[in-house]
Structure 1
């Protein structure tokens, strides 16, 4: 049985790819005749079914102590089942690819497919502009001395054309969500569920609490908005999302939004990539800065979306008699309780925000720092922004014009608004 871990094989093969020795080193690993290594190599290099994210690499028969069946308990959607011998079966049509089962398995029998290595040749020859888009939770993840500018420089050193903070497009969606609320909440008892950010939250509504679908805001996630925005401005570009969430790998493959993002990698994977090629972001020179508002930057933590949209609604529609009264839940258990209460008519708010991970995205399965520290740093980064809301942010308004929106209300109007719209059924 191999002592090599999946993460170590991924790091080693990243280095091999940058050194131009990928095929040679894969052959060396395969020649060992170890089934575990063969599976690890395949999934670390992006092989396997391209429409799936979570895979089983070995059976459970050698681990008689696995009576707790933690992977099954961790799965909200009952996608983890057992055959008559007790081995795991993944029901992929149920799976939301959140990665909870991977984290729960003490024996490392489950892995998520890595997508970065097939991109390396494109990054090396720079024939196609490849943009890194980083989730709002990124701030502070790579060390206290790694500013956004230094992270951008490190990513360019890997071969990326540029880095865009997804918070800029969270700003745009904040404007849209405020307008959606203004349209759909006009009397006591009306309410909306935000569709921003969390694929787990959206998956719960789509698959379990389907009667609430009419209340979900018809918006894409900030990741999708950012990917589409970049490709509108740079039609030949490829887009790589970097964040704390395994489920984003699945979201990027969903039929109605798969045009937006080409590759998803996690914070942990990016850290492994930096280590493999000996890049220390803290030692990079500063690169250009971002201009997102506080609104978009705080999407990374529980309550951030609610705060952003509430502040922006007050700015856009101060005369509206019904302003936002929000309720938030984080973690699967609390999200389910809040949705069940709404389903039963126990309506205590008019704007519902759910995050599948405790604390929000700062508590995602692939973060690098403590979630409490992550929240503190995200809040600090939000306070450093020059604008409180995107309605006051000249950079966001200029970006909207580049994307074809002369005025903010046009985010809900006409065919061009489809780039930020998603229909749920």
Structure 2
């Protein structure tokens, strides 16, 4: 099942997703980025890097809404990181109740039990290497790309699944919904043996959307507490080192070093060390996200800062709830699991095949292999292998585009919607493509050999020329030209030239600004209407008061006259 992918309409072929992907699980087909789910580790780095926000994530919201409609016993399993997203953590619990959740359970309660299971495993099995298995992305990464290290994953389910098992153990008919900022948790309930434990996985981004739809502000709601709460050990799980800290004394007694590793690049580095056998006896707490679980890829767009989230989670560990909730029973429950190897088998290619593909990219000599990384791959040879695998296209090479442009018959150069300039060593224009001619309303021949400053102020050109380092995918505002662009500047050492590629995002930025202005104007107009209505109401009330008084005087006078005539 394809859980994550890119929206076709939004892909702009910038290749930032490929550069961000640690396992190069993104292929291009008809200039559209597509995630290969047989290679993906669900880290979400491609989504965070995408400037167009072209992400398409399979959502469980329709399933959740249907469960509410059927009046099922819907139980919210809130990740230990929840406390970092709202200053009023009790208001968050209240908000979940308003949405329709019948019960709220802190997954830190399951984390407590996972810690105990870890401790038992380390005492009974006494492995030389042990890796925490709470992060689904790390598990996928190891099982797919470091299969020989899979045996070091502690064979215990995650806190989410442990909590789901306990809730289902009390009420098999309950509908369990896990809520967290994690993307890869969406994959976990689908793995073999875990089906039916957690019925839906909702991100913090999605739950924020539900609050907005219902006009609920958790920060303004009165505080509730969850029915099931965990203890300090489980609440520390989202924090760096929070897992190992729960049974540190046992690890120390058994002679283990404890290493906390965050971020997929560092995870990869430490796995290479394990593979080589160069590390000593160690327990590894591995998290794919920087700052661990408080910084998943699916956090609300407008949320508090990372380090404030960290502080709020720490405060929750210290203070907990004024009244503790009930506890879940894990008695007799088996939390063991098996992390099966599922290796990605990449086809091997001969040197001849690689050289032939390099030749198709215009790289016929070793010195032609610039290894610039603009295509997303670390080297030209790695890119050639990706082309042979069908993961990449020959055209995904900016220096190659420049080489073809020099022959004046390059289709990409002349048909690209992006503005492209080639500058010489003095930053004078040697070529510009038709998109640039249209944007700047000038012919290439008219500005040839003129400094780029004739059209644009120097924003990075001189720096790249002087340093020799590429400056990729930077948002630049050219005020005089009235342009906002995504700009990449590449230094081409072979010819001592500069390749400039600009994607015009002015219209998108203007629409965003117009929307903001429209919102501000609407608020201002609303305030004026309210003020005017209040003023009119006061005036009407005043006039009514005066008229009533005059009428009373006139009627009393008439009454007196009638009485005088009658007498």
TM band (smaller chain): 0.7 to 0.9
1:322 to 2:259 alignment: no
Q: Contact 2:76–2:103 at 8 Å: present in 1 too?
A: yes
Alignment of 1:161-310 (within 5 A): 161-185=102-126, 190-196=128-134, 198-289=135-226, 290-310=228-248
Selected match of 1:81 from 15, 18, 27: 27
Q: Contact 1:59–1:88 at 8 Å: present in 2 too?
A: no
Partner residue in 2 for 1:53: 3
Q: Distance in 2 between matches of 1:256 and 1:369?
A: 37
Deviations 1:154-179 (A, max 9, x none): 11111111110110100000000011
Q: Distance in 2 between matches of 1:229 and 1:76?
A: 35
1:365 to 2:297 alignment: yes
Deviation at 1:366, TM superposition (A): 2.1
Deviations 1:99-157 (A, max 9, x none): 2222221123332122113321321442x101011111110302x2x22x332221111
Deviation at 1:295, TM superposition (A): 1.0
Runs of 4+ in 1 over 3 A off after TM superposition: 288-291
Q: Contact 2:63–2:200 at 8 Å: present in 1 too?
A: no
CA 1:99 to 1:125, structure 2 compared with 1: closer, same or farther past 3 Å?
same
Larger radius of gyration between Structure 1 and Structure 2: 2
Q: Distance in 2 between matches of 1:59 and 1:274?
A: 28
Q: Distance in 1 between matches of 2:114 and 2:62?
A: 31
CA 1:52 to 1:277, structure 2 compared with 1: closer, same or farther past 3 Å?
same
Select the structure with the greater relative contact order (CA < 8 A; seq sep ≥ 6).
1
Q: TM-score, normalised by structure 2?
A: 0.56
- Indicate the RMSD between aligned Cα atoms, in angstroms: 2.3
Q: What SS is found at the alignment partner of 2:76?
A: strand
Q: Contact 1:123–1:130 at 8 Å: present in 2 too?
A: yes
Q: Distance in 1 between matches of 2:216 and 2:253?
A: 53
1:344 to 2:276 alignment: yes
CA 1:375 to 1:348, structure 2 compared with 1: closer, same or farther past 3 Å?
farther
1:109 to 2:59 alignment: no
Deviations 1:157-210 (A, max 9, x none): 111111101101000000000111112227xxx1211112x1111111111111
CA 1:372 to 1:77, structure 2 compared with 1: closer, same or farther past 3 Å?
same
CA 1:357 to 1:109, structure 2 compared with 1: closer, same or farther past 3 Å?
same
Q: Distance in 2 between matches of 1:216 and 1:395?
A: 32
Deviation at 1:235, TM superposition (A): 0.5
Q: Distance in 2 between matches of 1:138 and 1:372?
A: 14
Q: Distance in 2 between matches of 1:288 and 1:302?
A: 25
Q: Distance in 2 between matches of 1:310 and 1:185?
A: 15
Q: Distance in 2 between matches of 1:53 and 1:93?
A: 11
Partner residue in 1 for 2:544: none
Deviation at 1:369, TM superposition (A): 2.8
Unmatched 5+ stretches in structure 1: 1-50, 315-319, 387-393, 406-415
Q: Distance in 2 between matches of 1:109 and 1:236?
A: 37
Q: Distance in 2 between matches of 1:206 and 1:119?
A: 31
Deviations 1:225-257 (A, max 9, x none): 111111111100111110011111112222221
Q: What SS is found at the alignment partner of 2:206?
A: helix
Count how many residue pairs are aligned between Structure 1 and Structure 2: 334
Partner residue in 1 for 2:436: none
Q: Distance in 1 between matches of 2:253 and 2:183?
A: 40
Unmatched 5+ stretches in structure 2: 341-567
Q: Distance in 2 between matches of 1:333 and 1:349?
A: 22
Deviation at 1:321, TM superposition (A): 4.1
Q: What SS is found at the alignment partner of 1:227?
A: helix
Partner residue in 1 for 2:286: 354
Q: Distance in 2 between matches of 1:150 and 1:385?
A: 14
Structure whose residues are more often strand by fraction: 2
Q: Distance in 2 between matches of 1:355 and 1:288?
A: 29
Q: What SS is found at the alignment partner of 2:236?
A: helix
CA 1:97 to 1:116, structure 2 compared with 1: closer, same or farther past 3 Å?
same
Q: Distance in 1 between matches of 2:325 and 2:223?
A: 20
Q: Contact 2:129–2:283 at 8 Å: present in 1 too?
A: yes
Q: What SS is found at the alignment partner of 1:300?
A: coil
Q: Distance in 1 between matches of 2:260 and 2:123?
A: 19
